[in-house]
Structure 1
Amino acid sequence: MPGDGRHTLTVRRVGIDTYRENVVFLHRDCHVYRSAGFQALNKVEVTPADGGEAVLAVLNVVDDPAITRPDELGLSLQAFEQLALAEGAAARIAHARPPRSIGAVHRKIAGETLGYPDYLGIVREIGEHRYTKIEMAAFLVACTQGGMERDEVLHLTRAMAETGDRIDWKEPLVADKHCIGGIPGNRTSMLVVPIVAAHGMFIPKTSSRAITSPAGTADTMEVLANVELSARRFNEVVRAQRGCLAWGGTSRLAPVDDILIAVERPLSLDSPGQMVASILAKKVAAGATHLLVDIPMGPTAKVRTQNDALRLRKLFEFVGDRLGLHVEVIITDGLQPIGRGIGPVLEARDVMQVLKNDPDQPRDLREKALQLASRILEFDPDVRGGQGYVLARDILDSGRALERLRAIMAMQGRNPSPPEPGRLCKALPAPRDGKVAAIDNLQLARIARLAGAPLDRGAGVDLCRKVGDAVREGEPLYRIHAAFEADFAFACEAAEAASGFLLAGGD
């Protein structure tokens, strides 16, 4: 780096959220851009002029001085926060060295099997932001199209878990559960956690926000309580209540997984190997010793055949066993949404109805939560096999689970003004008499997202009929809720074009 000031610029905070990618901006007339041979989308290294830790970023070139002037170095929100300099401070910019591990990516593209050192090098340099999104996409596509041996999945999992923080709870048994997703309304974690915690087992649950679904557990829990907890507060809640329901984004548990997910989602990549590595790396880093994995199976679920489900189960068990994690996998019914609500507010309503033993509670959500909770309770050596279901049901029916969730909510910070379902509402009528033969999970999720979920907490779809139910012509199949006219119109248009319901026969 020259020391004569030619590469030193004034830092400017550019209010652009670049979602897990550091981006810097140079004006096209900047003397550094012209003299140093930078090009748009180059990887660059930015360092405080008076010394300090460097930040790696992708370069964007602008022509508008309102974004960045020729004497400035603009930083996206993520890069500005990471560099930790005040606006107006001096920083230096230089070309970043290419990632050393890129050769391993080229070998994977060519169809080779990679070893643990290869995956560790790739993961470390992704975590250091040395990879561009194009390079990460090439790595992910190579792993998806070429496939991964089960040992490679183990190597990737271990590498992701070891390149971030790890929690040691100093507990002999730390339980967790995870669903691979794809089923709208499947909000069982908010029932399983208070049931298991009320029994006295340790179940610190960090959950994700929705990326392509109408709601994640964190989105739904946020309707009721704060989910963005500091590490200290997270620890206090878990120690006091034996469990919690918090967003995992405030931690550095397997952070490379979050970076890769941001690339996978737009490409619709969801290979079994990457899925297993993503899930198990997070659980190992979070200190789990026992994990229950829920694999819903159905024609519009992520896993559509029994053979695919069994292969995925064996892969989870293989990797978990070699990481010292006790993994039990349950294959569940993924034919249709679970519960009635699809969207944060509607799903939170379903959860509270089950906890309160409301006569109108969605029975399928209650039953699935009890089945999952019973399997976790049987991780406890003091609970005999086959006794978990009765124990889980007693904890739920007695109100102890409701009491425990309320205590968790109070410690996390109860939401004083929970949102309501969207004020704009339209019922989608049945086109004729018949019975519901099938429900398309993907289409119902799409309609709920078009309505505004999960960003608009009250948006979504409220089901009036489930598979096997009879319906008369004109009776509602479901209701669409939205807060904004544009979202409402998009959702209604999509529902009218394809309702997601298949009717068969008549009365």
Structure 2
Amino acid sequence: MNRPTLAVRRLGIDTWRENVAFLHRDCPVVRAAGFQALSKVTIAAGGQSIAAVLNVVDDAHLLEPLQLGLSEQAFARLGAADGDAVSIEHAAPPPSHAALRRKIAGERLGREDLHAVVADIAAERYTKVELAAFVVATQQYELDREEVLHLTEAMIAAGRRLDWNGSGGGRPIVDKHCIGGVPGNRTSMLVVPIVAEHGLLCPKTSSRAITSPAGTADTMEVLAEVELAPERLKQIVHAVNGCLAWGGTAALSPADDVLIAVERPLAIDSPGQMIASILSKKIAAGSTHLVLDIPVGPTAKVHSEAAAQRLKRVFEFVAERLGLTLEVVLTDGRQPVGRGIGPVLEARDVMQVLRHDPQAPQDLRAKAIRLAGRMIEFDPAVRGGDGERIATQILDSGRALARLEAIVDAQGRRAEPPPPGPLVFDVPAPADGVVAGIDNLRLARIAGLSGAPQMAGAGLDLFVKLGDAVRRGEPLYRIHACVAADLGFARREALHDSAYAITGGAR
């Protein structure tokens, strides 16, 4: 039976990692085939086919009755040209639909089920509604450690895997990752050049921000290109021992990138999904050794030492089964690390540490040295306990700065990094006293309202930390924004609750 054909039209609508198709309500195909809004359809042209969600429009200026409109995502994936003939038909349910429904009902899924679910996610056969249901189900019915293992395996299998072909000379391929939840904390941009300068291969691939005002890829993008094709990524790492790149372009664990697009607006980062996301990306990037930073604090992702230990054990279980050498480091997550929150301000902190600027945040420097030291000790030629000393020497000598500059040049230096947002507001202390608590989540929200990370210059510049004395009216931090409306949103939120707890009298 012949499929009905229509002329494709690129509508220029960004649907953010979801294939969406549009038909006019008077389209004969709609009437004949019984298509309805939010139906799942299969669209084919030139031997290529995609699954999409259907929307129905009434305006003939947007779409004529014999046209089929496609969102930017769908148009790129189909590979057709404007005006080409395309066919449309009802899509069969994804093969893993039954497994998805069982997970929504709270059932445990086995290896085959999770591999099927992830394969369908990577092939973009799920709508955002179905993806959201899967994400929420894994949050509500926490994955056990076997499910986390199978989910990680499936995510690795669904994408490409970088093979360094012994380019490390038999030495470890190392990486470092933080589970997030603490604003600032841009240690990777210090750790990678230190470790690469020591001589270890460190192909650092990162996600963009999920629930935070900036990820490593967002901050590195202030200085250099981060969207690098796999072959170029390999060339860079061979040349300078490391990189700081976005993992999405390299198609490492692509199902994870699809899930992140749903997790971001829901502000969900369930433990099982988080473990699978992190370890699948690291293994797919060819890492053999990983240092994992788990910040612990009342407003971090992990609130207590006991919860951190439980999470640590699951990470270690999955890593061991997959042949990844893992060292977990529990760190202080009671407050932001560094002063800047947002891509430009965090990049400034990093460069101040590398350049030994007197204004450099010492907490960022100390934490980076600690983590880099642990990674350096993966080198079999280094004695246990010597890593921090070596890392300090590399940083203090200026060699780490030179190495980062080499990485920036190799990836493609930005001609002129953007400045901090020019629109500012200083958030005042509500009373005299001492800073007794800082709410990481609230600061991240205020920074997000200011425009970060979409506006690289937006964010917060912190003036005081835990234990600092303040007087009423003195600034706690400065909001930077690039758009007046964003400054207004962030200002109102900060004046409602600054995220700082002030107690006692000023010392």
> Is residue 74 from structure 1 mapped to residue 69 from structure 2 by the alignment?
yes
CA contact 2:247–2:281 (8 Å) conserved in 1? no
2:101 aligned counterpart, secondary structure: helix
Runs (4+) of structure 1 exceeding 4 A deviation are: none
Match of 2:60, as an amino acid?
A: P
Shift of 1:106: 2.5
In the alignment, which of 118, 132, 138 is matched to residue 143 of structure 1? 138
CA–CA separation in structure 2 for the residues paired with 1:264 and 1:452 = 19
Match of 1:2, as an amino acid?
A: N
> Is residue 44 from structure 1 mapped to residue 54 from structure 2 by the alignment?
no
Q: Which residue of 2 aligns with 1:502?
A: 501
CA–CA separation in structure 1 for the residues paired with 2:267 and 2:431 = 35
Q: Which residue of 2 aligns with 1:2?
A: 2
Shift of 1:432: 2.4
CA–CA separation in structure 1 for the residues paired with 2:438 and 2:66 = 58
In the alignment, which of 112, 116, 120 is matched to residue 125 of structure 1? 120
Q: Which residue of 1 aligns with 2:280?
A: 281
CA–CA separation in structure 2 for the residues paired with 1:234 and 1:436 = 44
**CA deviations over 1:175-194 (Å, ceiling 9, x no partner):** 11111111111100000000
Q: Which residue of 2 aligns with 1:109?
A: 104
**CA deviations over 1:249-293 (Å, ceiling 9, x no partner):** 212111011111222233333221111111111111111111111
Match of 1:198, as an amino acid?
A: E
Match of 1:418, as an amino acid?
A: P
CA–CA separation in structure 2 for the residues paired with 1:489 and 1:182 = 25
CA–CA separation in structure 1 for the residues paired with 2:165 and 2:404 = 24
CA–CA separation in structure 2 for the residues paired with 1:262 and 1:417 = 29
When residues 273 and 211 of structure 1 are mapped into structure 2, their CA distance, relative to the original with a 3 A threshold, is: closer
In the alignment, which of 10, 20, 23 is matched to residue 20 of structure 2? 23
Q: Which residue of 1 aligns with 2:84?
A: 89
CA–CA separation in structure 2 for the residues paired with 1:30 and 1:413 = 48
Shift of 1:166: 0.7
Q: Which residue of 2 aligns with 1:468?
A: 467
Q: Which residue of 2 aligns with 1:65?
A: 60
Shift of 1:487: 1.1
TM-score calculated relative to the size of structure 1: 0.97
**CA deviations over 1:484-506 (Å, ceiling 9, x no partner):** 21111111111111111111111
Q: Which residue of 1 aligns with 2:48?
A: 53
Match of 2:97, as an amino acid?
A: I
> Is residue 304 from structure 1 mapped to residue 299 from structure 2 by the alignment?
no
Shift of 1:114: 1.8
CA–CA separation in structure 2 for the residues paired with 1:481 and 1:144 = 34
Shift of 1:9: 0.3
CA contact 2:344–2:420 (8 Å) conserved in 1? yes
**CA deviations over 1:416-455 (Å, ceiling 9, x no partner):** 1111111122222222221111111111111111111112
The percent identity for this pair of structures is: 63
CA–CA separation in structure 2 for the residues paired with 1:428 and 1:267 = 28
**CA deviations over 1:178-211 (Å, ceiling 9, x no partner):** 1111111110000000000000100011112223
CA–CA separation in structure 1 for the residues paired with 2:322 and 2:81 = 43
> Which structure 2 residues correspond to residues 237-276 of structure 1 after superposition, within 5 A?
237-276=236-275
CA–CA separation in structure 2 for the residues paired with 1:449 and 1:267 = 14
Shift of 1:143: 2.5
CA contact 2:228–2:250 (8 Å) conserved in 1? no
Match of 1:179, as an amino acid?
A: C
2:165 aligned counterpart, secondary structure: coil
CA–CA separation in structure 2 for the residues paired with 1:266 and 1:413 = 31
1:477 aligned counterpart, secondary structure: strand
CA–CA separation in structure 2 for the residues paired with 1:137 and 1:474 = 44
CA–CA separation in structure 2 for the residues paired with 1:141 and 1:475 = 42
> Which structure 2 residues correspond to residues 349-428 of structure 1 after superposition, within 5 A?
349-428=348-427
**CA deviations over 1:19-76 (Å, ceiling 9, x no partner):** 111111111100001101111111111111xx41211111111111222211101111
2:301 aligned counterpart, secondary structure: coil
CA–CA separation in structure 1 for the residues paired with 2:52 and 2:405 = 43
Gaps of 5+ in 1: none
2:81 aligned counterpart, secondary structure: coil
> Which structure 2 residues correspond to residues 323-342 of structure 1 after superposition, within 5 A?
323-342=322-341
Gaps of 5+ in 2: none
Shift of 1:240: 0.3
> Is residue 134 from structure 1 mapped to residue 133 from structure 2 by the alignment?
no
> Is residue 293 from structure 1 mapped to residue 289 from structure 2 by the alignment?
no
TM-score calculated relative to the size of structure 2: 0.97
1:270 aligned counterpart, secondary structure: coil
Shift of 1:214: 1.2
How many residues are aligned here?
502
> Which structure 2 residues correspond to residues 184-203 of structure 1 after superposition, within 5 A?
184-203=183-202
Q: Which residue of 1 aligns with 2:32?
A: 35
Q: Which residue of 2 aligns with 1:452?
A: 451
In the alignment, which of 154, 157, 165 is matched to residue 152 of structure 2? 157
Match of 2:353, as an amino acid?
A: V
CA–CA separation in structure 2 for the residues paired with 1:67 and 1:501 = 49
Shift of 1:18: 0.8
> Is residue 220 from structure 1 mapped to residue 215 from structure 2 by the alignment?
no
Match of 1:111, as an amino acid?
A: G
Match of 2:301, as an amino acid?
A: K
Match of 2:247, as an amino acid?
A: G
Match of 1:30, as an amino acid?
A: C
Shift of 1:246: 1.2
Shift of 1:466: 0.5
> Is residue 13 from structure 1 mapped to residue 30 from structure 2 by the alignment?
no
CA contact 2:372–2:391 (8 Å) conserved in 1? yes
